[in-house]
Structure 1
Amino acid sequence: MKCPEIFLLLPTCSILHEDRNVIDLVLLLAVALTTLNESAMKTLKDYWSSMEAPMMSKHICMWKSALAFLLKANVWLTFIPGMKAVLEVLKYLYKCNKRVARSRKVPLSEFYVEEIGLSPPLLQQDVTLWRQLKWGQVQEGDNLPPVFCRYPFLLDLQSKINIFNYDAAITKITHSFIHDQVTAGLFQNLYTQAPTPIILLRLRRTALLEDVFRQLSYADHDNFKKQLVVEFVEDSKQTDVNKRDFFLHAFNELLAPESEMFMYNDTQTMIWFPSQPKVESKQYFLFGILCGLALNNSNIVHMPFPLAMFKKLVNMKPTLDDMIEFRPTVGKSLRCLLYDYTDDVIENMDTTFCVHWDGVNVELDPQEKGKPVISANKKEFVDAYLDYAMNKSVERVFEEFRRGFYKVCDRDVVEFFQPEELRGVMVGTEAYDWDVFRQNTVYDGQFHVGHPTIVTFWEVFEELTDEQKKAFLLFLTGCDRVPILGMEQVRMSVSVLPNSTQNHLPESLTCHCILMLPQYNSKERLQSKLIEALKHNRGFWRE
């Protein structure tokens, strides 16, 4: 192919965006493109990398449309070579898009092919085949179906979450079976309890962190991938409520200043790993395990880290934007230094490569103490500052945290997520939509949308403050944040509290998102009893 430019022109032709031409034209074009020689491919990639966003979108659209057509028509297994070629072309485009300046980048969402996630059986089969290939149980071959897990940039957030949950469920089952078969053999002649398919934490509410850290310290690391069950000494029941209860209070204690595990930003709203840790490194390893257990068991937790932490978890480098998020004053000053200040201003600032971070003065260039910042080395200074604050200063404790996290979660699946997505999945969002919440509510037993108690309840709810509404969400679900996929994921069911009187408080079953409401005889009583219940934080955490 002496003229690779033809591949730049054809995707702009409307005829190639029509379903009727996918098989006879687009698939053949994809195969031809992926067989270009090295020189022609380099030329093509350079062209793609220099494209403006609107033109790049046209190219992406053509190949995505072909992929979607084959999936919707359920004929993709008939055209395996062409399908694989289309996937490879989209991979080329994705990588080229990553190379361009931010102002010209196409949003990652433009690569999403929703049709991949519309069939849960397809995703499950795909994950299974992907795993079998990674474990060497299946050999590569021309007739092997394409594996979408190898192209995670095509997966929308719902698909990624489904894959993560399915993979975690399979891992729990297979890991428990294999590990327990081996362990059972070792202990078959001893007077000991047989291995279980769960990891059980038996905790005292009054010594939560002490108990959980001790038990995690002595646990077999293979058990971390099993299903988590939490039991409180004060109440031997094992329910999902206990699990949510445990994560809420454990993270509240861990992130409190008294734990001395983290440094805080100037406004005390975000945390970061300390450069001078006051606790043992092992504590960060155990904290990583806790975060992994929360994710692996679908529990949103309070983790007010900047995006930099989630970037580092998926092996991406923090940037100046991350410093601006964590320390706005410092970050914005560095940005001004890079882009706004003139040479004269920089030299008159009398700034050196010595910075103050986490209570300590640090020489960013140990070979030249007091090295002045000038226009010629301003980028070197900013890069060194960011690298120290986000990487070097926290390397030891962060590596312990990451090691613990990946003792629970599979790195290759976690890395499907973009950092923003991973943060949302782990800590939720604050995208509250109370209208959607009300629309999704269902009623049980005597209650219905027009029942006087229900009408009054919503009148009272609308009059709550924003903080009280968040407290209600906490009371109902065990978390005051919204799942990353939106308020649609929160579906409340309201039923009558059995055997209740006018003096009873509303109650909730957080594991099922059920509000149990007495039939109060006035709006004032309903309002006072609801607010009193919310002040208890959550009804099922009782000493």
Structure 2
Amino acid sequence: MIPIWGDERRRPINLGGAASPAPSHAAILDQAKARRQEREDNRRREESAVRVQAWWRGVKETKLVKAEMKRVFVGDVEGIRGLRCLVLVGRDEEVLAMWSAAMVDEQTLFRLATGPDQASWLVLIRQTSFLLLQSVADSPKSPYATAHLKVLKHLLAPSTGGVLGAEAPALAQDITTYLLKHDLYAHLERAIRSIPIEAKSAPALPLLVSLTTSPLSAFTSTTASYHQCLLLLFTHILTIPLLPNRLPLASLTEFSSRLPLFSLGILAPSIPLLINNPSLSTPGSKINIVANLIAFTPPRYPTLPAAALDTYLYLLTTLMNALPINSLDPPVPGTKSSNPSSSWATAAADDDSDSETESHSLARVSIVSSFTPKPSPPPALDPRTQKRLSTIPDVKHLNALLSASHRHPSTQLSLVSFFLSLGTVWPARRERVLSTLVVYTGGGLVRELYRGFVRASPLGRDDNPGSLMDPSYASSWPPLLFLADLYTQSLLTMGDDEFFSSASTTAPTAPRNPLTLDELTAFSRKLLNIAFTLYWREDQTNVQEGGVPGVNLKWEGVREKVTKCLQAIHARDSRKPFTPPGHWLVSSQIDMQSFVEAAVFEEQQIEQPTGSRPLSKRQVAYMSPRLGVLNNIPFAIPFEVRVSIFRNFVVNDMVSRGVDRHRRTGRTRVSVRRGSVAQDGFDKLEGADLKAPIEITFIDQFGQEEAGIDGGGVFKEFFTSLCKEVFDTDRGLWLANKKNELYPNPHAYATEQHSLSWYRFIGRILGKAMYEGILVDVAFAGFFLAKWLGKQKSFLDDLASLDPDLYQGLIFLKHYTGNPEDLSLNFTVAVEEFGLTKTIDLIPDGSNVAVTRENRLQYIQLVSHYRLSKQIKQQSEAFFEGLLEMIDTKWLRMFNQQEVQILLGGVNSPVDLEDLRKHTNYGGLYDDKEETITTFWNVVDSFDQEQRRALLRFVTSCSRPPLLGFKELVPNFAIRDAGQDEQRLPTASTCVNLLKLPRYKNEDVLREKLLQAIHAGAGFDLS
């Protein structure tokens, strides 16, 4: 019945008698619109009322029908009518509980499956099974959940010896297929997750676990349904966090035994689909699969078939490649990680060196890149998950994987990809993994990688260096990158004797380089082509942000790995060349003249805020491709070209500062006493701008200023005298190795504030020498020079020049064939000072950590690192602080250790007499045709190289010629007449590189007097 809502429809009648004013046209339209809207509202109200009344009648009727059906069901619980009523009633927990309690017995459950009602029963039982599944998923801890699960277990895995007989498998397949279409595994996942982890005694849990694998027994492994079940098992069950911790022991054993790991091979084509499944959209779900797989799979390694092992490794690799860096080792919430490499924030920091983390050497004074956004922090992990994940890089696990892969060589590529992804996503454990592999494969893995995968790789070929980013090369990257990592790690503890050994020169059991020198030459050329291509790209944004196909790395990460290995190999070649001439150069790929001009221009464009830390190598590479090459792989450019660029950088810096070395005004004047050159220089140059010209005035022994104007020569004399004093090892700041190469004294008093101030001053003075192009006759130890450049890698071989006895001891330990624990070593180092010996831990609680076969390479590396770096850390930092006031970090990184030494002291090469003669100036009565001068050059021409170097030292205070020839000697080499007294010896003013040569008439006399002067050091003249 439709109600009458009022008299809204009656036409309004005016009975007042008075005439109303005529409405306007707009008013008439508004009234018509309002009446139309009113009628529409009334119509909607009437329709709504009809629907509400119909719904209410339906609800009442449904309740009556359901009540009647429940009455019928109660009267026929085990019959077909009762089953039909149950399905029609739907999710009524009381009815479901009553039915499942009656059907727990398998005989009763399947009684109707073979009779005349078979077809109806099959349709109804499918729907009933889904109702039971929904009920369990919603309330797995309810009292009736156990009965529901027992019924489901009978339905999904009926006994073939029961009522159904041979029809049991077909029925199981039918019901399983139906439930799979209705999200069987999603419901099981929800049910298991709903049970607290600690509630292992929940009665429903064993039945739920059994149901997770029952569908797999319903199909053969070759069917699409089996493949679907396996895929769903991974996406829904193995993503459950702490799955092994949730299960009682019996269920854990059952699940582990029924997990179809042997059939994993069929899953290989679907792994990309699995990774992109919405169930795995978060890093946490991927980590859960990794942790659960590691809990169940390792015991099966010895028996897994090749296809299953290969797919397993592929799956783990793909999962880890999809994780953010450091996801497997995030910081504990509320705490500060003690290990910077295990902190997620480190992923955003620029780490372009593996120098000591606490050092402020050039490699470590990097800042967070302003070009790369900070990554989001990884999810916090349960400590139990972290503990399970920690077994992945464990020695036993890695060895088990290696053994399994050796049984199935076809899996080696997948194993290598796994190792690479593990080290990438878990950088804090990368060195541990690499060290373990170095120890346990004895170089064999390096050889297998190179000869089996990298040697024939299309990457880095000379004929096609620019196609690196071709997606078709995806499978070629993992072995090459992992080989680069592994070989770099090997070199950290490989002495030069081992590096240059070969199978033909050593006994079969003797340690040797896993790669021949020819193989290293080819391998390093591949690396060089790859690195140069990535640094040389104008589009550095793609290098920073573009991902490598199939690898969890940006192209920038590829470049860093390749560069580190390349630098390590080049360092060996620099000490003892084994590559052919021109091997490291890319001169054929670029025009050097334009390269120099562009590099100088790009350096001018880089503006760095005053007082900020030096730009890292990564930042430089982003801002300038040419400076990126010069800062990371400088050896690709000829040394002479780089020196020319360096000089251009200095000139540009002078221009930008308004410095004019030839201008007499505006100079800093400093007076120094002849007997206290070092102390006065230290006191009076503190705070002075050493990039500006410094005018030195010497004070003689009577306190009077010496006559003369400093045009540069007096400063050189001051500088030469200063260096002789400050680098005298008797002063206690420096020590010398057996090659008379200097390094900071590691003694405790060298770390006192006064000593550190001296190191800082010396750094500034040496920086001034490099800035001005003044050669210094001092040689530094290679490991100390490496710290200048941020390239100190604690090479074991560097230790030989510092402590030969310790070096031999570590070599013995490295190759010891017995049990290293018999040697009773621990992770400590003994230091003797003032006659007392103290023990220092190399790692926390190192005195209680024994050196074993597994960790001995780590011990060797830490001992070397301590002696080469940590002992002189503060001294080096102070020295570098002063040096960097004068020389930009970018400039220094263009050179290696040997080249920096050449910049400081000139090239240790034969004295080119023609070049010297061409750039010699004459004074007084001399010119190039004068008789004494002609005789002089004839005599010098007869000198051997040692005698020529002695002459050079006598005149210039440095025995080595300038790198770019004598045209670079400032001021030029000069000869001036010193009178007619032939009994006088020649003298020299080293401050202005001037030889004062008497006018000898006889060649023999000239030779005798000159040799006497240069070897006796006689005739030094300050006038």
Calculate the TM-score normalised by the size of structure 1: 0.71
Q: What's 1:174 paired with? A: 656
What pairs up with 1:465-504 in 2 under 5 angstroms? 466=946, 469-484=948-963, 497=977, 499-504=979-984
**Distance in 1 (alpha carbons) for counterparts of 2:759 and 2:528:** 44
SS of alignment partner, residue 303 of structure 1 = coil
1:420 to 1:38, Cα distance in 2 relative to 1, 3 A = same
- After superposition, the Cα gap between the structure-2 partners of 1:9 and 1:122, relative to the gap in structure 1 and judged at 3 Å, is closer
378-387 vs 94-103, which moves further: 94-103
Q: Describe how 1:447-458 pairs up with structure 2 within 5 A.
A: 451=931, 454-455=934-935, 458=938
Kindly state the Cα deviation for residue 162 of structure 1 after the two structures are TM-superposed. Answer: 1.6
Give the fraction of aligned pairs with identical amino acids, expressed as a percent: 17
The structural deviation recorded for 1:308 is: 1.2
Q: CA deviation at 1:238?
A: 0.9
Which whole-Å deviations, capped at 9, do the CAs of 1:138-159 have from their partners, x for residues lacking one? Answer: xxxxxx9974222112322112
Name the structure 2 match of 1:363: 839
Q: Secondary structure at the match of 1:225?
A: coil
Partner of 2:674: 205
Superposition map of 1:119-134 within 5 A? 119=593, 123-134=596-607
Flag the 1:277–1:461 CA change in 2: closer, same or farther, 3 A.
farther
Contact 1:230 1:243 in 2 (8 A): yes
Task: Measure the CA separation in 2 of the matches of 1:389 and 1:63.
Answer: 34
The answer for the alignment partner of 1:23 in structure 2 is: none
Q: Which moved more, 1:521-530 or 1:406-415?
A: 521-530
Please tell me whether the aligned partners of residues 354 and 361 of structure 1 are also in contact (alpha carbons under 8 angstroms): no
Answer whether contact 1:354 1:370 (CA < 8 A) is retained.
Answer: no
TM-fit CA distance, 1:380: 3.1
Inter-partner Cα distance in structure 1 for 2:623 and 2:873: 41
The offset of 1:418, in angstroms, is: 1.7
The code of the aligned residue for 1:130 comes to E
Aligned in 2, Cα 1:163/1:117: closer, same or farther, shift over 3 Å? farther
Cα deviation for residue 266 of structure 1 reads 6.4
Distance 1:240 1:332, change over 3 A: farther
Q: 2 CA distance for matches of 1:204 and 1:316? A: 39
2:747 alignment partner in structure 1: 275
Deviation (angstroms), 1:410: 0.8
The residue type equivalent to 1:160 in the other structure is R
Task: Give the superposition deviation at 1:214.
Answer: 0.5
749, 767, 788: which one pairs with 1:292? 767
Alignment check: 8 A CA contact 2:903 2:963 kept: yes
Contact 2:763 2:880 survives alignment (8 Å): yes
Aligned: 1:319 with 2:799: no
Give the match for residue 244 of structure 1. 716
Aligned counterpart, 1:519: 999
Paired residue for 2:913? 437
Mapping of residues 54-133 of structure 1, within 5 Å: 55-56=522-523, 96=562, 98-99=564-565, 102=569, 110-114=583-587, 118-119=592-593, 123-133=596-606
Moved more, 263-272 or 283-292: 263-272
Residues 364 and 385 of structure 1 are in contact (CA less than 8 Å); yes or no, is this contact kept in structure 2?
A: no
- Corresponding residue of 2:691: 225
Cα distance in 1 for partners of 2:997, 2:851 equals 65
Q: Distance in 2 between matches of 1:117 and 1:540?
A: 48
| Unpaired segments ≥5 residues, structure 1 | 17-25, 68-75, 137-143, 179-194
Structure 1 residues 451, 541: closer, same or farther in 2, change over 3 A? closer
Aligned amino acid, residue 210 of structure 1: Q
Structure 1 residues 96-126: Cα deviation after superposition (integer angstroms, max 9, x where no partner): 264378499996963434476842x752443
8 Å contact 2:829–2:839 — kept in the other structure? yes
Superposition RMSD in Å? 4.8
| Structure 2 SS opposite 1:232 | strand
Deviations 1:325-384 (A, max 9, x none): 222232233223223x3225x555555534245665342426254865454443233222
Distance 1:177 1:526 in 2: 43
Q: Does 1:422 align with 2:900?
A: yes
Structure 2 Cα separation of the partners of residues 328 and 235 of structure 1: 51
What code does the residue aligned with 1:96 have? V
How far the C-alpha of 1:324 sits from its partner, in A, is: 1.0
How many Å separate the matches in 2 of 1:427 and 1:90? 36
Among candidates 263, 272, 288, match of residue 735 of structure 2: 263
Measured after TM superposition, the shift of residue 58 of structure 1 is 6.5
CA distance in 2, matches of 1:65, 1:369: 45
Q: How far has the Cα of 1:40 moved from its partner?
A: 7.0
Aligned-partner Cα distance in 1 for 2:478–2:680: 60
Aligned partner (choices 302, 309, 313) of residue 784 of structure 2:
309
Conserved? CA contact 2:775–2:906, under 8 Å: yes
- Cα deviation 1:421-452 (Å, max 9, x = unaligned): 11221233433x24x32564247686658957
What are the residue-to-residue correspondences of 1:343-362 with 2, within 5 Å?
343-344=818-819, 346=820, 349-351=823-825, 353-356=828-831, 361-362=837-838
Q: CA deviation at 1:404?
A: 0.9
Q: For residues 125 and 33 of structure 1, do their structure 2 counterparts lie closer, same or farther at Cα, with a shift above 3 Å needed? A: closer
What one-letter code is carried by the residue in structure 2 that aligns with 1:256? Answer: D
CA apart distance, 1:479:
1.0
User: Which residue number corresponds to residue 159 of structure 1?
Assistant: 641
User: How far apart, CA to CA, are the structure 1 residues paired with 2:928 and 2:710?
Assistant: 32
Structure 1 residue 312 displacement after superposition:
0.9
Are the equivalent residues in 2 in contact too, given 1:203–1:211 (CA < 8 A)? yes
Asked if structure 1 preserves the Cα contact closer than 8 Å seen for 2:737 and 2:801, the reply is no
Structure 2 vs 1, CA of residues 326 and 44 (structure 1 numbering), >3 Å: closer, same or farther? closer
- Determine the structure 1 residue equivalent to 2:437: none
Deviation, structure 1 residue 243: 3.0
Q: Quick one: distance in 2 between partners of 1:375 and 1:382?
A: 12
SS of equivalent residue, structure 1 residue 217: coil
Structure of greater relative contact order (alpha carbons < 8 Å, 6+ residues apart): 1
Aligned residues: 479
The answer on whether the counterparts of 2:982 and 2:998 sit within 8 Å (CA) in structure 1 is: yes
The residue type paired with residue 112 of structure 1 is L
CA distance in 1: counterparts of 2:532 and 2:839, whole angstroms: 54
Q: Which amino acid aligns with 2:809?
A: S
C-alpha change, 1:62 and 1:326, in structure 2 (3 Å) is: closer
Which letter does structure 1 place at the counterpart of 2:732? Answer: E
Contact kept, 8 Å, 1:204 with 1:211, in 2: the verdict is: yes
**Contact in 2 for aligned 1:273/1:398 (Cα 8 Å):** no
The AA in structure 1 aligned to 2:649 is D
AA aligned to 1:517 is L
**2:771 maps to 1:336:** no
- 1:396 equivalenced with 2:877 (yes/no): no
Partner of 2:861: 383
One-letter amino acid of the structure 2 residue matched with residue 46 of structure 1: L
Q: How far did 1:249 drift?
A: 1.7
